[in-house]
Amino acid sequence: MPAAYSAPASTDAAHLRALAREHLWMSFTQLNDLIADDGPRIIVRGKGCRLTDIDGRTYLDGVSALEAMVAGHGRDELAMAAMRQFEQVAFIDLFRYAAIPQIELAARLAEITPGDLSRVHFTPGGGEAVEVAIKVARQFHYMRGETSRYKVITRHGAYHGTTFGAMAVDGNYHATRNYIFQPETFGRIAPAPSPGCGADHAEEIEQLILRENPSTVSAVHLDPMNTALRVAIPNDAFLPALREVCDRHGVLLIADEIITGFGRTGRMFACDHTGVVPDIMTLSKGLSSGYMPIGAAIVRKPIADAFTGDADHMLRHGHTYSGHPVACAVALENIRVIERENLPAKAARSGAYLLQQLQTLDHHPTFGGVRGKGMLIGLELVLDQATGRTSSPPNRIATAFRLACRDLGLILLPVHPGNVMLIAPPLNMAQAELDELVGIVDAALGRIDREFGLV
């Protein structure tokens, strides 16, 4: 193993911040804010559920490093899996050749994903997996002679990535939409789901399919747990009802499990809660616990089998780094860790406990409710509990809360429409750390209660 990281002296930290202010273009970060904040918090170490910055401050990672670190930070077995593969075949593309980990991971995903999902197309990340799913759905219909099926149904406020294709199937997500970058308009937006929605929401989606004309719709694309949509967890009636809607109209069902996959919701996949098998499932994040960039779109056998025959039936898509051998080796080992430590079951138990403890914070006037499934929880922030009124814009209160949490030692982030905080820690977080997280949320709510003049 490499030698342990040694943090630079404070003078080096100042130099690094200066370099960041001058040269680093961070995602979803206004450059003015980066300068005003004297540069980013520079993280130098991660272990378990904690991160340490260059100044020695420690933080509980309340979002698993953008929902990816399901197995936690600092896993030696994942680092060793990468090293072993680096020593064998560091890289080979998947255009004409294949390495052993690529084949083994594809076969393993076919084993653990629902139903007859069996053909895997690897990508460098989640957004690219969404691109694959959209292309597969459209080409599948086209090859069957249904050339008018090009539309994809999504929901208002959905998030599926930032490439042009993925943006076309977001739902005007609050943080990504830019009027300059209006993508191809094949996305059609259904109403946003409400927490606890069921067959009624499937009916809303069906009404949109009917208005658009089913013969023009290729797919319905959604996150089964509505993560970006206020974490509006549906009830168990929703997904089976939607499966029936899609089947009735010959529309493919694409389940975006980029965040929810690999134990996050208390089952290996969110679809496992209802037994529904989507036609295409997109994966990333927890696939490697974030240790290497990797994504995948896995397709049901009848869909994949249509891509045989002449050259016109070829899926003309690929990326240089799709299915990087080292990333595949790490993902294989990561799946072993998840199964060996039974992290989905642990997420179910820990998530239920965390949700119960967070519900005790309703005495804060800024507490607007909490909901979740497993270690996927949303905390709503309001200015008036009776009416649900929040700040204008909604992310104003969330930013204040996020910064309060950060200063108290907890990393969280907001989701659509801006005033809902996502709480999604590593699945192996200990109960003492869960209690610590709740204590920080309690203190941060107290701060914004005072900041917004509610106490």
CA angle centred on 29, ends 169 and 444, rounded to 5°: 100
Structure tokens at 148: 């008018």
CA distance 212 to 329: 44
pLDDT band for 11, please (50, 70, 90 cuts).
low
CA distance 452 to 368: 14
Rg (CA), the chain: 22
Spatial CB neighbours of 10, under 8 Å, sequence gap ≥ 6: 55
CA distance 130 to 275: 22
CA distance 158 to 223: 8
Instruction: Output the pLDDT for position 175.
Output: 64
CA distance 142 to 136: 10
- Model pLDDT for residues 36-83, shown as the tens digit of each residue: 677 788 999 999 999 999 999 999 999 999 999 999 999 999 999 999
Instruction: Output the pLDDT for position 159.
Output: 87
For the chain, give every residue range classified as CATH 3.90.1150.10: 41-71+343-451
- Model pLDDT for residues 259-299, shown as the tens digit of each residue: 999 999 999 999 999 999 999 999 999 999 999 999 999 99
* Strand order, beta sheet including 252-256: 117-123, 295-300, 280-283, 252-256, 217-222, 151-155, 187-190
Which value, to the nearest 10 degrees, does the dihedral of the CA atoms of residues 187, 158, 226, 372 take? 180
Instruction: Provide the CATH topology of domain 41-71+343-451.
Output: Aspartate Aminotransferase, domain 1 (3.90.1150)
Mean pLDDT of the chain: 93
- pTM beyond cutoff 0.75: yes
Q: Is the pLDDT of residue 10 over 60?
A: no
Instruction: Output the pLDDT for position 26.
Output: 85
Tell which CATH classification among 3.40.640.10, 3.20.20.80, 2.40.30.10, 3.40.1190.10 matches the domain 76-340.
Answer: 3.40.640.10
Spatial CB neighbours of 80, under 8 Å, sequence gap ≥ 6: 1
- Model pLDDT for residues 13-36, shown as the tens digit of each residue: 889 988 888 888 888 777 777 776
For the chain, give every residue range classified as CATH 3.40.640.10: 76-340
Find residue 410's DSSP bridge partners.
60
pLDDT band for 5, please (50, 70, 90 cuts).
very low
- In the DSSP assignment, the letter for residue 73 is B
- Model pLDDT for residues 302-355, shown as the tens digit of each residue: 999 999 988 788 888 999 999 999 999 999 999 999 999 999 999 999 999 999
Q: Is the pLDDT of residue 228 over 50?
A: yes
